[in-house]
Amino acid sequence: MNTRNTFIDIKFIGSFPSIEKMPNNKKPEYAFIGRSNVGKSSLINYLSNRKAIAKTSKKPGKTQMINQFDIGDKWTMIDLPGYGYATITKKKRIAWKKMIYNYLEKRDNLMCCFVLLDSRIPLQDIDLQFLEWLGERAVPFSIVFTKIDAIKKGKREYNIKSIKTELLKKWNTLPPDFEVSSAKKLGREELLKYIVKLNNAVK
């Protein structure tokens, strides 16, 4: 399957403040999450081959609810709020965390949570804590290393290897990971092929 320049049939369903408010069409769901400004909205736009399906912003905290997109009749993409720094109140930050964790723990048709990590920097404590939380609750996840165009190849490879080494202190094996650049159009095909593979496995 060549997905490099393919528009996927994507439809915005809505933004929801809780799992209870979300429509459940029983299709496999794939959630995308990461620290604020890790490039999540840009990646979603790149995957769908659209310019503004997901709203991008230089200001952290643009995504504030669970955004649901149907991909034809095959699967659903979920855009979750970023974790970490955002210019919001402590009360709202606690509410976001409850909303995100409730979705990840209780959404029965969630197939995989794609956790975005910035390839330019070492593993951050908040990323490690979130990944450990996923592991403790047996939430299936994969890692997506973003912004690979913004760092020299040798440094990027060193950072990614160091992150995996750190994670292997907690896990015996790691799930598949992906390297992407929304700016340079890299990694889309591999990521979409993986989603198709997971979909085929549940048929």
pLDDT for position 5: 52
Averages of pLDDT over each 10 residues, the chain, 203 residues: 61 92 90 91 88 56 79 91 72 85 95 97 94 95 97 96 96 96 94 94 78
User: Residue 55: what pLDDT?
Assistant: 55
Query: Is 104 part of any domain?
Result: yes
Q: Is residue 99 part of a domain?
A: yes
193 class by beta-carbon count within 10 Å (0-12 exposed, 13-18 middle, 19+ buried): middle
Residue 88: predicted pLDDT: 67
Can you tell me whether residue 43 is helix, strand or coil? helix
- Domain harbouring 15, CATH code: 3.40.50.300
Domain of 46 in residue numbering reads as 10-152+174-201
- Whether residue 83 contacts residue 32, with contact meaning beta carbons closer than 8 Å, is answered with no
CA distance linking residue 147 with residue 180, whole number of Å: 6
184, part of any domain: yes
- Measuring CA to CA, which residue among 69, 63, 64 is closest to residue 23? 69
Contacts of 158-165 spanning 24+ positions with Cβ under 8 A: 159/119, 159/120, 159/121, 159/122, 160/119, 162/122, 162/123, 163/117, 163/122, 163/123
Domain count, the chain: 1
163 within some domain: no
